[in-house]
Amino acid sequence: MPYKDKDAAKAHAREYYLRNGDTLRLKAKQYREENREALLAVQARWRVTHPNQKKEWDQQNKAYILAYAKEYRDSHKDDTKRWWKEWYAKNRDQVLERNRQKRQANLEQARERERQYESAHKGRSRIKEEKRRARKANLPDTLTQREWEIILDLFNHQCAYCGDEGELAQDHVIPVTQGGGYVKENIVPACKSCNSFKGNRSLPITLRLGI
What pLDDT is attached to residue 207? 43
pLDDT in tens, the chain (211 residues): 455 678 888 888 888 888 888 899 999 999 999 999 999 999 888 888 888 887 888 889 999 999 988 888 888 888 888 988 899 889 988 988 988 898 889 888 888 887 777 676 666 667 777 777 788 788 888 888 888 889 888 888 888 888 888 888 889 988 888 888 889 999 998 888 888 888 777 765 444 444 4
What pLDDT is attached to residue 121? 63
Handedness of CA 38, 44, 45, 46 (dihedral sign): positive
Q: From CA 48, how far away is CA 24, in angstroms rounded?
A: 30
Q: From CA 189, how far away is CA 161, in angstroms rounded?
A: 8
Q: From CA 210, how far away is CA 160, in angstroms rounded?
A: 7
pTM: 0.43
Query: Strand runs (DSSP E) across the chain, as ranges?
Result: 168-172, 187-191
Give every CB contact of residue 118 below 8 A, 6+ residues apart in sequence: 124, 125
CB 156 within 8 A of CB 115: no
Q: Indicate the DSSP class of residue 172.
A: E
